[in-house]
Structure 1
């Protein structure tokens, strides 16, 4: 890409340069498409350390720099901020030599995927392996039965919603949550990580209960997955009514493109309490701050935050089910583990010891046990066939 170019006036033969597909312009000027970070409505392009996200408002293409700076705007701002010549950039875009550049289609509403979603089956409680594996009960799912679908293979399909034409929040795509992860690709090669979900159409926000009357909604709960949100509702079933609560999953999508939909949601449910239950890690903290700032700006109030004791809310739910602790905190958890170790030492029964060992191993998979506890447990005399923790 040219480095020492002067800013010039836009070419006269264009009425409005912001109508040009900015992502295609940049691809013809040396930028590289980041397929992993791109969504159907927000292509992301890289140039060295720069990560540029393309958005669209009406027919006009805009951009922002993912570094969080004020580097944003239209194609004119883009060139001005980089001291680039607009004419040269446009010339490269129209250059015949660039016609072979592979440019995926973006900003297209894929109606076929929306139609596909509507033809999927209603959820069948007899095919509930997905939720069973997550420890989520049928009673928790029941109020949301009209909010998601299921395919012929038992995979759960959660719809994504997006603000269209600044007026309505409507379905733009859906995600299949696979009951059985795919460990190999289409060619039979082993994947680096098992594929747990497949997305169809545009990505935005997974929402359950979006069709409720806005006046009925008393809470909006945000999380990184619908599974975490349902886990939250199961843990606090006596605190919050499902019929008065909207569940919003960002599904890892924290690009500028979700802001209009969030703003519209806050506008419709301005009296609702906002709760976050993002993961217990750096990204979770960043996502919490993102929602907190947006709520403060749009609704002029604060939020309530649930910080998971383990990595995420679903892990907390599973820990509660294993330990039967009504209050899950450091003290109650450590006291419980100490009791397990004491019981293991006391009981001569092989079956009781086996049950305790299985519990400890399950817990360790959800919330890693401290080394000193493992060491003390491993020092307890046991059958030679029993492996250490």
Structure 2
């Protein structure tokens, strides 16, 4: 199967229509679109990250994104997407919305980091919280540079997500 950059962001609904699937507008909802071809019935939707997914109503194991769709039907992804105009407004719109969402997320993360960096370092030597729990402050000396104290004298510890 050929590699298609950002294939999961391609408009699966448009591709299905171009490849012989019919939209059943009566059974479709605001979120899920219902497509059929012969005796096969598919539910298609776009998630919050603007990625397209499908579910086969007749076969629960047949679900996923456009890559799974082509793989499960022994279709070539390049052949399946042939005729799709890359400058399609839908793709541009999805890319723009995704970029805006990522920028907003990055700004929000930066606000949290800045707020954390404004806190004072936590005093491990005179910590009542650690004393009450029977812990010695010297256990945490290796992490002293990243332990902060907020305005309520709570210990703040940074958490990281690795993508």
Structure 2 length as normaliser, TM-score? 0.49
Q: Which has the higher strand share?
A: 1
Higher relative contact order (CA 8 A, sep 6+): 2
Structure 1 length as normaliser, TM-score? 0.21
